[in-house]
Amino acid sequence: MSKRFEGARVLVTGATRGIGAACAKAFLAEGARVAINGRSEGSVEKAMPEMGRLAVPAPGDVATVAGCEAAVEAALAAFGGLDVLVNNAGVFLKQSIADTDERGWDAVMNANVKSVQFCTRAALPALVESKGNIVNVASEAGLNGYPETTAYCASKGAVVNLTRAMAMELAPDIRVNAVCPGVVETDLSRSGFAVEGDADEGIRRQHLAYPLHRIGTLEEAAGCCHVNSDPVAGFDQFG
C-alpha cells in the first residue's frame, strides 16, 4: 500500500523543533522527502539524526530574504522540484506594548511574516510547475487579540490575511491555506507562558483556560498541516 505522501517533495521551515519538527516527521513517515530548515547549519545538523534517510538539510535564517532563498535552493538542489511548502518558522514574544521596542517588533515581524512572503516567492516557480501546495502556520492569536502579545498577534494576523491574498493570486496553479492552532505545548510555549520562571505552572494554566482542559499536541498541529497539503484533485501524482 502506497503511503499518503509517497514521493512528495516538501520543505518545512523552522523544522528543527516544535510544530515544524513534528510536521517534518509526519511527512517523512508518509513517504515524503523533506528538506529540514533551521536558522543555522548547527541547528539543522543537530536535528537530522531524528529525521531519517529521506530528509535533507536546508539551513537558512528565513527572517532574512537571503535565508529564505538559501533554504529553497537547498530543497530544489536535493529534490529537483517542490510539491509542498510549509511556512512554519516563527518566534513568540510575550511583552507589553510599552516594553516592545523596535528591535523586538522587527524580530517578530521578520521571522513570522517576512519568512512567509519570501520563502513563497523563492519557491514559486517550482510550485507552479508541480501544481503544489502551500501551508502557512498562523495561530489562533491571528484571529483574536490578547494582551502582552501585541507583536505576535499582529504578525499572525498578517499571516492569516497574507494567506487569503496568496490563495486568490496563486489559484488555480497553487493551493494556499493557513492553519491556526491554539496553544500547543512546545519549548517556545513553555518558556513564553512561564509564570515567574515556572514553565509547568504556565502550561497548567493554559490547560485550564480551554474548555477541554487541555492544550493541543504536536501531533494534532502536524495533522492539520497534512490535511491542507493533500494534492488537489487532478494533480494527485507527486513528481
pTM: 0.86
pLDDT digits (tens, 9 = 90+) for 13-29: 999 998 899 999 999 99
Q: Which fold has domain 9-182+218-227?
A: Rossmann fold (3.40.50)
Cβ atoms within 10 Å, residue 109: 18
The yes-or-no answer on residue 152 being catalytic is yes
CA atoms within 13 A on the CB side of 65: 1
In this prediction, residue 236 carries a pLDDT of 44
Residue-averaged pLDDT of the chain: 86
What does the angle CA 45 – CA 49 – CA 55 come to, to the nearest 5 degrees?
80
Query: What's the Cα-to-Cα distance from 54 to each of 22, 130, 137, rounded to whole Å?
Result: 15, 19, 23
Q: How many angstroms separate the CA atoms of 13 and 208, rounded? A: 31
Q: Would the pLDDT of 140 be above 90? A: no
Query: Integer distance in angstroms from the first to the last C-alpha of the chain?
Result: 18
Contact (CB, 8 A) for 17 and 6: no
Query: Residue 127: pLDDT above 90?
Result: yes
Query: Contact, 43 vs 96, CB < 8 A?
Result: no
51 near 31, Cβ under 8 Å? no
Confidence of residue 181 (pLDDT cuts 50, 70, 90): confident
Residue 222 pLDDT level (bands cut at 50, 70, 90): low
- The more confidently predicted of residues 78 and 195 is 78
Residue 227 has what pLDDT?
60
Selected residue with higher pLDDT from 231 and 111: 111
Q: Can you give the residue ranges of every domain in the chain?
A: 9-182+218-227
C-alpha cell at 77: 538542489
Cα 141 to Cα 97: distance, rounded to the nearest angstrom: 16
185 pLDDT exceeds 70?
no
**Active-site position among 27, 118, 152, 238:** 152
